[in-house]
C-alpha cells in the first residue's frame, strides 16, 4: 500500500470513528428522553366497627331465680352471642344446691362461663334447698355481647347475693357493679 493510500485509509478511519462517536452520543441523549413520571394518589380512612354494650338488667324476687336479661344497645355490629360468667362465694352443698336446667322456661346459668345465642331473652340462677341453719351466697355476674369473628363488647357487671335465714323468706339482691 502506498503512503497516499495509507493516509487516505487513516483519514477515512478517523472520520468513521468520529462519526460513530457522535452518533452514539446523540442516541444516548435521545434515550434519556424516555421515562417521565406522574403520580396519582387516593386515600381513605379505614374504620373498625364495635360490638355494642349489653343493656342487661338484673331482677330479683325472693323465692325465685335471679333474672338477667340479655339485650344490647343495638348499634354497631350485630350481636351473635352473649358470654355470661358468674361467680359464687362458695358452691352450695349439703341440703343446698346450685339450680340447674330451666325454671319457668328460663335457662339456669352454670357456675363459671357460658355462652348464649343472641335470641336468648334471659337467663337466671339461684340456690335450691332448705336448712334450719340457713346460708348465704354472693358473687358477681359478668355479661359481654359477642359479635362477628368473636369480637366482644366491654363487660357489664352485677353483684348479687342470696341470704337464707333457714326459716322464712330469703333476702336477695342484684345490682350493677
Partner 1 sequence: MTPHLSGRAKAAVVLLACALALAVAVAVGRSPWTDAAWTNREHAVATFHAVSFQTQSQAAGSTGWAHHPTGDPAQLFLDQEELAPGGTRLEPAAGPSIYSWFNVRTSPDTDTAAHLSLTDVSAVGDLAAAVDYRVVARTASTAPCSAADFTADASYLAGSATGYAHLTGWVSPEPSVPLGAHGTDPAGLCVEMRLAADAPNSYQGTHADVVWSFTVTQAEQ
| Degrees to nearest 5, angle at CA 87 with 83 and 92 | 130
Q: Which range binds partner 1 by CB under 8 A, 60-68, 105-113, 124-132, 144-152?
A: 144-152
**CB of residue 6 to partner 1, shortest distance in Å:** 11
Q: What is the DSSP string of 146-159?
A: E-GGG-BPPPEEEE
Q: What are phi and psi of 67, to 5 degrees?
A: -120, 125
Nearer to partner 1, 112 or 148 (CB): 148
Cα separation, 142 vs 75, in Å, equals 20
Binding of residue 1 to partner 1 (CB under 8 A): no
CA atoms of 29 and 176, how far apart (whole Å):
80
Distant-in-sequence, close-in-space partners of 59: CB < 8 Å, separation ≥ 6: 66, 67, 69, 174
- Quick check: 82 and 146 in contact, CB under 8 A? yes
For residue 75, state whether it binds partner 1 (rule: CB under 8 A): no
Residues 81-120, mask of contacts with partner 1 (x by CB under 8 A): x---------------------------------x-----
- Among residues 1, 35, 74, 132, which is the contact residue for partner 1, using CB under 8 A? 35
Q: Which residue number, 66 or 83, has a Cβ lying nearer to partner 1?
A: 83
The piece of 2-10, 88-96, 102-110, 162-170 that touches partner 1 (CB under 8 A) is 2-10
What residues form DSSP beta bridges with 142?
A: 85, 157
* Contacts to partner 1 by CB under 8 A: 4, 7-8, 11, 14-15, 18-19, 21-23, 25-26, 29, 33-51, 77, 80-81, 115, 146-152
Amino acid at each position: 500500500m502506498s503512503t497516499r493510500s495509507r493516509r487516505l485509509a487513516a483519514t477515512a478511519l478517523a472520520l468513521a470513528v468520529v462519526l460513530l462517536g457522535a452518533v452514539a452520543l446523540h442516541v444516548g441523549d435521545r434515550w434519556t428522553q424516555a421515562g417521565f413520571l406522574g403520580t396519582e394518589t387516593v386515600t381513605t380512612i379505614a374504620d373498625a366497627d364495635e360490638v355494642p354494650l349489653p343493656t342487661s338488667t338484673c331482677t330479683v324476687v325472693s323465692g325465685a331465680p335471679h333474672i338477667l336479661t340479655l339485650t344490647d344497645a343495638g348499634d354497631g355490629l350485630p350481636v351473635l352471642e352473649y358470654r355470661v360468667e358468674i361467680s359464687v362465694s362458695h358452691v352450695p352443698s349439703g341440703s343446698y344446691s346450685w339450680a340447674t336446667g330451666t325454671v319457668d322456661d328460663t335457662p339456669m346459668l352454670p357456675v363459671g362461663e357460658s355462652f348464649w345465642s343472641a335470641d336468648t331473652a334471659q337467663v337466671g340462677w339461684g340456690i335450691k334447698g332448705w336448712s334450719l341453719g340457713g346460708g348465704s351466697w354472693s358473687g358477681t355476674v359478668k355479661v359481654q355481647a359477642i359479635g362477628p369473628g368473636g369480637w366482644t363488647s366491654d363487660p357489664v357487671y352485677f353483684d348479687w347475693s342470696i341470704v337464707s335465714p333457714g326459716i322464712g323468706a330469703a333476702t336477695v339482691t342484684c345490682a350493677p357493679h
